[in-house]
Amino acid sequence: MTESSVEASPPAPGSEARAAFASRCNAIEEAYEFMLAYAAQGLPHEATSGSSGQIRDFLRKCDAGLSGLSDVLTDCVRQSGANPAEAYDAFIAVIDRDARAAQAAVRLVLAQPSIGSQLVDNLNASSHLRALLTDLFLLDEVLKSH
């Protein structure tokens, strides 16, 4: 068979949106997991840690993952054909509120000149961030059936 006779199969419907959703979930979840480890170190200041730059990198990735999250989720749901749309839209509105609140907290921490373990521990405990992760996991499971 020559290269010209081999055709790539088209991507599955909604696969681009699902990939964008997965990428954002991974960025948020990885940041949360890194923050748990960072908080456990008991560092009073960011500069005393070998992972000082890493905490900001993870927080920036989390911030990027949170930006426009509801639009990505809406695209994902629409492309999956999940119904009833109203139920998904209502849940995405909840996720949007939690994402905006979590993003405000992440940006507050990023604005600090030094990020110590206690500050990150308090961010980890934020009900917005924890609720958001749980909501994303729930939506991911629901969408797997479509």
User: Is 6 inside any structural domain?
Assistant: no
Q: How many Å apart are CA 134 and CA 92, to the nearest integer?
A: 13
pLDDT band at 43 (very low <50, low <70, confident <90, very high): confident
pLDDT at residue 20 in the model: 92
Buried b (16+ CB within 10 A) or exposed e, 50-64: eeeeebeebbebbbe
Task: Check whether 6 has a pLDDT greater than 50.
Answer: no
Supply the range of the domain harboring residue 35.
Answer: 14-144
User: Is 72 inside any structural domain?
Assistant: yes
Task: Check whether 130 has a pLDDT greater than 70.
Answer: yes
User: Is 9 inside any structural domain?
Assistant: no
User: Is 8 inside any structural domain?
Assistant: no
Per-residue CA distances from 11 to 8, 14, 18, 130 (Å): 9, 8, 11, 33
User: Is 3 inside any structural domain?
Assistant: no
Task: Check whether 49 has a pLDDT greater than 90.
Answer: no
Q: Specify the number of domains making up the chain.
A: 1
User: Is 2 inside any structural domain?
Assistant: no
User: Is 1 inside any structural domain?
Assistant: no
User: Is 40 inside any structural domain?
Assistant: yes
pTM of the model: 0.83
